[in-house]
């Protein structure tokens, strides 16, 4: 199909109308329109959370949030991006903390203001049940909080919508850190292997392999058994 014949959509980038092919993602459409990203563009694959985009569509009061790299444009879309979440990151030392909600509240007392309005959940482009996760934390259920928020990419859309001014993505990072550090069982075999390596248990094996010529190495490689 030639460029001109492609079905087009009209989108409003910060209020200005542009015609763009309707198969593009918001990100590619903004570029097509002539913008070059410095901010609001990162991994382009749905992992980094930098391209959070707020939009409305015609005849709809609802405010939508999606990642620009993961959302296809629609006709009559009114778009603005969130280049930065205005928030300092509070500092903490996980090593000196306990895995409790009280510790999280010590850093983020504002989570006690959660109104259960659930607007955060509506805002999350990762479909995380954000309010549920905050409330799980209030219930002292760190594990539930972690499981609910594991897919959080810290885009901060929730935090821009929250009437209680919670910066959820930071709260969840702390919760996951505490859980990971204190509430998961350390892998025993890992500790043992680190010790074996430190003691030099594999030095001979490795040195032998290092000194081996390529042909012999290839032989060994071919002969290695693949674990089922």
Partner 1 sequence: MEVLYYPGCSLKNTYPEFEKSTYAACEKLGINLVEIPEWNCCGVVPSLATDNVMRHLGAVRSFINAQEKGKEIGTNVVVTLCSMCYNVLKRVNLILKEQVDTLKNVNDFIDDQPDYVPELEIVHFLSLLKNVGFDKLKERIAIPLRGLKVAPYYSCALLRPDRPKGVPIDDPENPTVIENLIRSIGAEPAEFPFKTECCGNYHIVFEPHIVEMRTKKIIGSARSENADVILSPCPLCTYNLQHGNETLDRSEQVPVVFFTQLLALSLDVKSHLSTEIENQIMKKIGGKKFV
Partner 2 sequence: MKKTEIIEGYLGYMRESIEVVEKTREKRLKETFPLMSLEEREEILKKFHPDYKEEAKRPVKVGPNKGDLMPHEVADLLEAYPLAKPKDIDLSKVDFNVDILIIGGGGAGMTAALWANYTGVDAENILIVQKLRLGDSNSIMSQGGIQAADKPNDSPGLHYLDVMGGGHFTNDRKLARRLVSDAPMLVKWHEDLGVIYDKESDGTMVTIHGGGTCRKRMHSARDYTGLEIVRSLKDEVLNKNISILEFTSAVELLTDEQMQVAGAVLYNMETQEYYVAKAKSTILTTGGFGRLHIQGFPTTNHYGATADGIILAYRVGAKLRDLDAVQYHPTGAAYPEQIVGLLVTEKVRGLGAQPVNKNGEQFVYPREPRDVEASAIIRECYERNNGIETPTGMKGVWLDSPMVEILQGEGTIAKKLPAMLRQYKRFDIDMTQDPILVFPTLHFQNGGVIVKENAETTVQGLFAAGEVTGGTHGKNRLMGNSILDYSVFGRIAGINAAKHAKKAKIGKLTLNHVTKYKKMLKEAGIETDRKAPILLPEYRGEKVLSHTLEIF
Partner 3 sequence: MNELAERVKEISDQNVYSCYLCGNCSAGCMFTDEMDTLPHQVIALVQMEDKDALGKNTSWICASCFVCSVRCPRGLDVAAIMEALREIKIRERGFRKIDLRKIKDIEKLPQIAITAAAQKFTW
Residues binding partner 2 (CB under 8 A): 23-25, 28, 31-39, 41-48, 50, 70-72, 89, 91-94, 126-127, 146, 150-151, 153-154, 173, 176-181, 184-191, 193-194, 197, 202, 205-206, 209-210, 214, 217-218, 220-222, 224-227
Q: What is the dihedral of CA 25, 152, 136, 173, to 10 degrees?
A: -150
Kindly tell me which of 33 and 105 has the beta carbon lying closer to partner 3. 105
Rounded CA separation 98/146 (Å)? 15
Kindly tell me which of 14 and 115 has the beta carbon lying closer to partner 1. 115
Q: Indicate which of partner 2, partner 1, partner 3, none lies near residue 110 (CB less than 5 to 8 Å, by partner kind).
A: partner 3
Work out how close the CB of 106 gets to partner 1 at its nearest, in angstroms, rounded to a whole number: 12
Work out how close the CB of 98 gets to partner 2 at its nearest, in angstroms, rounded to a whole number: 13
Binding site for partner 3 (CB under 8 A): 101-103, 105-106, 109-110, 112-113, 138
Work out how close the CB of 194 gets to partner 2 at its nearest, in angstroms, rounded to a whole number: 5
Kindly tell me which of 61 and 221 has the beta carbon lying closer to partner 2. 221
Work out how close the CB of 116 gets to partner 3 at its nearest, in angstroms, rounded to a whole number: 12
């Amino acid at each position: 199909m030639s460029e001109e014949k492609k079905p087009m959509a009209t989108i409003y980038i910060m209020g200005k109308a542009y015609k763009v092919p309707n198969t593009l993602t918001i990100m590619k459409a903004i570029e097509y329109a002539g913008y070059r990203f410095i901010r609001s563009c990162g991994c382009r694959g749905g992992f980094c959370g930098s391209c959070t985009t707020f939009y409305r569509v015609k005849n709809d009061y609802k405010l939508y949030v999606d990642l620009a790299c993961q959302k296809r444009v629609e006709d009559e879309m009114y778009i603005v991006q969130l280049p930065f979440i205005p928030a300092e990151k509070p500092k903490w030392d996980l090593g000196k903390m306990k895995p409790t909600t009280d510790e999280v509240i010590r850093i983020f007392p504002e989570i006690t203001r959660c109104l259960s309005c659930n607007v955060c959940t509506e805002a999350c482009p990762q479909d995380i049940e954000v309010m549920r996760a905050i409330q799980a934390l209030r219930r002292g259920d760190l594990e539930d909080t972690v499981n609910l928020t594991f897919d959080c990419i810290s885009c901060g859309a929730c935090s821009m919508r929250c009437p209680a001014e919670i910066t959820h993505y930071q709260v969840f990072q702390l919760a996951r850190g505490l859980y990971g550090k204190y509430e998961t069982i350390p892998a025993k075999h890992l500790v043992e292997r680190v010790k074996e390596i430190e003691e030099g248990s594999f030095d001979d094996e490795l040195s032998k392999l290092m000194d081996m010529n390529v042909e012999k190495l290839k032989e060994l490689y071919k002969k290695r058994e693949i674990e089922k």
